[in-house]
Amino acid sequence: MGVIRVRARIRAPLPQVWEFLIKPEHMHLWGPFTRPVIGIDRPFEAGDRVTLDRKDFFDFFWHHSQVLLVEKVVPYHSLHLRDLSPGAVRMNVTVIVSVEETADREATWIE
């Protein structure tokens, strides 16, 4: 089991970054997904389950679906997701996307 951690500074205020992350229709823009999530017309809530079509970076012609469960939403702080796809369940794959305001309030740390 491993942990991957990446931290980046985005030149946008925290509320703007959060409002982008929390909307399902934007999810295909921040991941390897091929099209927007449909069927949810509101920000993510705990218990939401989304099925995404994705293509693998190394095998461009291999398409598959990925099922994600939103486990927890902490407004303006973090979004907790669990991958329910068959291979991911065996490995207990979870993702936490967290955001934090920078000292100057004009940018946001995302991890």
Residues 66-85 have a mean pLDDT of 92
**pLDDT over 70 at 93, yes or no:** yes
Question: Is 92 exposed, middle or buried, given 0-12, 13-18 or 19+ CB atoms closer than 10 A?
Answer: exposed
Q: Does an H or E element contain 10, and which? A: strand 8-10
Q: Is residue 48 a contact partner of residue 28, using CB atoms and an 8 Å limit? A: no
Q: What are the distances in angstroms from CA 38 to CA 3, 26, 58, 88, 96?
A: 30, 10, 26, 22, 22
Q: Would you state the pLDDT for residue 11?
A: 96
Cα separation, 54 vs 83, in Å, equals 13
**pLDDT over 80 at 62, yes or no:** no
Q: Would you state the pLDDT for residue 80?
A: 95
Mean residue pLDDT of the chain comes to 84
7's tokens: 């931290």
62 or 94, greater pLDDT: 94
> pTM above 0.85?
no
86's tokens: 């068959």
